[in-house]
Structure 1
Amino acid sequence: MPWVLLAVASLFEVLFTFSLKYAEGFTRLVPSLLTVATGLVSLIFLSLAMRTLPMSIAYPAWAAVGMLGTVVLGAALFNEPLTIFKLLSVGAILVGIVGLKLQAA
C-alpha cells in the first residue's frame, strides 16, 4: 500500500509541475490555484507513504518519478527535445528507482 500512496503522490507531483508552467509565474488564477492544490495533495500522499517507507527511499523515488513524468510529458505535449543525453539520464533515473524498490523489498 505505501508504494500505491507514493505512486499517487508522484502523479500529483507531475500535475503540480504542469500546472506550475500554466500558472505563468502565478499570474493566472486558476492554474495558480491548481498548482497549490496539486502540490499539497502530492505532499500529503508522500507523507502518508513515508509512514511506512523509509525517507531515504520514499523521497528520492517520489522526486524521480515526478521528473520522469515531467520529461516524458514535456516531450509529448510541448515538443521538448529528447536528446540522447536526456534519454540516458532518464534511463539512469529508472535504474535508480528500481534499485530503491529492491532495497525496500
Structure 2
Amino acid sequence: MHWLYLAVATLFEITVAISAGKAAGFTNRKWTAATLVSGAIATFFLSKALLTFDVGVGYAIWTSVAGVGITLLGVLLFGQRLNWRKALGIAVIITGVVGLQLSGAAA
C-alpha cells in the first residue's frame, strides 16, 4: 500500500509543478487553487507513504520520480526540448531510484 501512496503523492506533485507554472505568479486564481489543493493532497499521501519508507529514501524517490515526470510532460505537452544531457540525467535518476529499491529501503 505504501507504494500506492507514494505513486499518488508523485502524481499530485507533478500536478503541483504544472499548476504552479500556469498560476502566473499566483495571479491566476484557478491555477493557484489547483496548485494549493494538489500540494496538500501530495503532502498527505507522502506522509502516509513515509509511515513505511525511511524518510530520506521516500522523499528522494518522490522528488526524483516527480522530476522525471515533470520533465517528460514538459517535452510531450509543452514543446520543451529533451537533449542528451537531460536524457542522461533522467537515466541517472531512474538508476538511483532502482538502486534505492534494491537496497531494501522500504518494507
- The normalised TM-score by structure 2 is 0.95
Taking the aligned partners of 2:24 and 2:42, their CA distance within structure 1 comes to 20
Deviation sequence 1:4-57 (CA, Å, 0-9, x none): 100110000001100001101000000000000001100100000001111121
1:100 CA displacement: 1.1
Taking the aligned partners of 1:101 and 1:25, their CA distance within structure 2 comes to 36
Taking the aligned partners of 1:101 and 1:38, their CA distance within structure 2 comes to 26
Matching of residues 1-105 of structure 1 within 5 Å: 1-103=1-103, 104=105
Taking the aligned partners of 1:6 and 1:76, their CA distance within structure 2 comes to 23
Unmatched segments (≥5 aa) in structure 1:
none
Higher helix share: 1
The residue type paired with residue 66 of structure 1 is A
1:79 CA displacement: 0.7
Equivalenced residues, count: 105
Runs of 4+ in 1 over 6 A off after TM superposition: none
Taking the aligned partners of 1:23 and 1:92, their CA distance within structure 2 comes to 31
1:87 CA displacement: 0.2
1:67 CA displacement: 0.1
Secondary structure in 2 matching 1:61: helix
- The normalised TM-score by structure 1 is 0.97
Taking the aligned partners of 2:77 and 2:10, their CA distance within structure 1 comes to 18
Unmatched segments (≥5 aa) in structure 2:
none
